[in-house]
Chains A and B, each alone.
Chain A
Amino acid sequence: MDRTAWILNLREPFGAALGRELVSRGWKVLGGDPGEQEQPNSEAQRGSGPAEGEKIGENPDVPTGSGSSGFEDFEGSMAFGPETNGRSVVKKSEAQSEHSKGDALTDRGDPLSADNPLPEHGKLKAFPLNPDQPGELEQAVQATAELATHIDLLILNTDESSETGGRPIFPTDAAAFREKETGFSMPETVESRLYDYETYALTPLRIVEKLLPLMEAEDRLKRICFISSHEGSISAGGASAPIGQAMARTALHMQAKLLFNDLRRSGYTFRLYDPGLSRSSVPSSDELMGSIPGKVAESARFAAGFFTNPHADEERLVLTGSRGEEWPF
């Protein structure tokens, strides 16, 4: 059976890695991202085979695939045939050079070749989706409906990549790193706190509202997954995160619980996941900072299984970490 997942922030490193994981497992993956540009020729599918640039999820700093420890290790992985994700071979040095220009995730377009048909499990498509832009959500929903008759798995990834204007989640960002090391943070404003609320809580709810009609079929998976952080745990979230961000993540947890209470009765199942990538999760030493891309890949791999497999107890909503640990609300 054709299975379709929809991922918010599909170009953000974790979203991209998760998208690749799902594609490798035979899923069709759609999604919205503020970094996505409108394509002149909007194609439903990405091409496979040789291409000049990277594809979604092809951030060379984010290796993917079981046992993979780096981008070059990933090349030729049996788990991900090179055609499965329409990805071209990009040397690490070239990729890093591109990444240093700040456009490592930019999709340069790669027309589908009739000689290289895309395998069924290689479908992946991102739509422009910036909540600040009026009408983009409606357009993304319409485009989704044109490409998929249903959505089985809705993944609300609220982490952000720095290139989309959001707050960086990686301590490689100088300001974030300084904050973690010194405890000193730039003052938050009402505006920044409202931005956090829109980003982490309201945008996911807007998407659930709009995409729910595409999930209603009786014989489908009907699973909604929230990507969050233990920073939103009221009692165990600590004090290191910006307060507006922590509050907004807590609001997201409440939203997940309310939707769980309502939609569970209609056969929906839920996941609430902390990928372990927030600043308070990531060690601050230079040595460990270098392993962050691997941590993203590892967490995405866990998430792919966690999101697609049945769970022993679907009657409880639990904030689950990337090692399977349970966080209190």
Chain B
Amino acid sequence: MNTTRYAVVTGADRGLGFALTEGLLERGWHVFAGSYLPDWPQLAELQSRYPDLLVNLPLDVSSDSSILSAAAAVEERTRRIDLLINNAGVITDRNDDSIRMTQDYDEMIRLYQVNALGPIQVSEAFLPLLEQGELKRLCYVSSEAGSIAKAERTAWFGYCMSKAALNRGVHQLFDRLRPDGYSFRLYHPGWLRTYMSGTLNEEAELEPSESAEPALNYFLGSTLPWDGKPHAIDEDQLVMRDYQGREWPF
């Protein structure tokens, strides 16, 4: 069994993606970090701390050519990856626009490209490398905002539609790839103090690191703690779980 493990993380510049990347490095993983913000300093600083484990790559998940370039760059360095974490996501300040207000459809398309299509396109591009990996695990940072059954919002069209669509796309990949040995994680990280909307949200509940820790336990592990005991994750069911391990209905 090969002890060297390789991961790809999208949206790794800051926030949850950065915390996930840092957590993987601390665990000894080789990480290819998708970077959308070349001028943001955190990943460069992290690279200086883990020069042998971290490779930063330009990656805009809304661009097919960028995705393919990133996959090719990874393939130049390794013949396999074990873990793909689709973390990149955006939100908008037009969330509260009700249907009685003029909607911003260009913004909805942007959210859909990044939040919904991006993770699917990235997954498809990296499948040949994942196929050679041992873990074959696909992880997706989604949101409770993608739960139709639990939806209580009265607007947020672009964001909620993008996350619900993501959940559907992930389920399709699950249906197709699970028979080939792939396993999946779908994660609601909670309300985080991140730059997802472009500026730091200081009102949110959690620091990214507070969500990254349970996320990595979920992404890497085969059990979930429940009632103080570990319970095996049923890999033949796709469920969305939050940072407390709770299941969210679709």
Rounded to whole Å, the gap between the CB of A151 and the closest CB of chain B is: 15
Instruction: Give 12 A-B pairs besides A243-B120, A250-B168 with Cβ atoms closer than 8 angstroms.
Output: A193-B120, A197-B165, A212-B100, A237-B168, A238-B175, A247-B166, A247-B168, A251-B164, A258-B151, A258-B157, A262-B99, A329-B149
Which 5 pairs across A and B sit closest by C-beta, in order of nearness?
Answer: A239-B175, A262-B154, A250-B168, A251-B161, A254-B164
A194 CA / B108 CA spacing, docked (Å): 11
Contact assessment for A209 and B156 in the assembled complex, using a CB-CB cutoff below 8 Å: no
CA of A198 to CA of B151, assembled, Å:
22
Decide if B151 touches A246 in the complex (CB within 8 Å): no
A8 contacts partner chain B, Cβ-Cβ < 8 Å: no
Give complex CA distance A201, B105 in Å: 11
Q: How far is the CB of A326 from chain B (nearest CB, A)?
A: 12
Asked if A232 is at the interface of the complex by the 8 Å CB criterion, the answer is yes
How many B residues, CB 8 Å from partner? 42
B117 within 8 A of A: yes
Interface residues of B in 103-135 (CB under 8 A from A): 103, 105, 108-109, 112-113, 116-117, 120-121
Encoded as 1 (CB less than 8 Å from any B CB) or 0, chain A from 226 to 248 comes to 00000010110111010110111
The residues of B with any CB-CB pair to A shorter than 8 Å are 64, 98-100, 102-103, 105, 108-109, 112-113, 116-117, 120-121, 146, 148-149, 151-157, 160-162, 164-169, 171-173, 175-176, 238, 249-250
Contact with B along A247-265 (1 / 0, CB 8 A): 1111111110111011100
Q: Find B169's partner among A194, A247, A262 (CB 8 Å cutoff).
A: A247
Chain A residue at minimum C-beta to C-beta distance from B146: A254
CB proximity of B151 to chain A, nearest CB, Å: 5
Given contacts A257-B148, A258-B156, contact A247 B165 (CB under 8 A): yes
Please give me the residue from chain B that is nearest to A329 by CB atom: B148
Residue A190 at the B interface, CB < 8 A? yes
Is A328 close to B, CB under 8 A? yes
Complex Cα distance A206/B103, Å? Answer: 8
A143, CB-defined interface residue at 8 Å: no
Spell out A's residues near B (CB within 8 Å). Answer: 189-190, 193-194, 197-198, 201-202, 205-206, 208-209, 212, 232, 234-235, 237-239, 241, 243-244, 246-255, 257-259, 261-263, 328-329
Given contacts A197-B112, A212-B99, contact A258 B160 (CB under 8 A): yes
The answer on a CB contact under 8 Å between A258 and B117 is no
Main secondary structure of the interface of B (DSSP, over half): helix
Contact A208 B169 (CB under 8 A): no
Report whether B152 and A261 are in contact in the complex, using a CB–CB cutoff of 8 Å.
yes
**Interface contact A262-B155, CB-CB below 8 Å:** yes
Contact call B99/A254, Cβ cutoff below 8 A: no
How far is the CB of B240 from the nearest CB of chain A, in Å?
9
Q: Report the bound CA distance from A244 to B165 in whole Å.
A: 9
Closest to B118 in A: A190
B161/A254 in contact, CB under 8 A: yes
Please measure, in the bound complex, the distance between the C-alpha atom of A234 and the C-alpha atom of B249, giving whole angstroms.
10
User: Considering the chains assembled together, what is the distance between the CA atoms of A221 and B108 in angstroms?
Assistant: 30
Docked CA distance A99–B9 (Å):
52
A239 to B175 Cα, complex, angstroms: 6
- Partner pick for B99 among A209, A238, A253, CB 8 A cutoff: A209
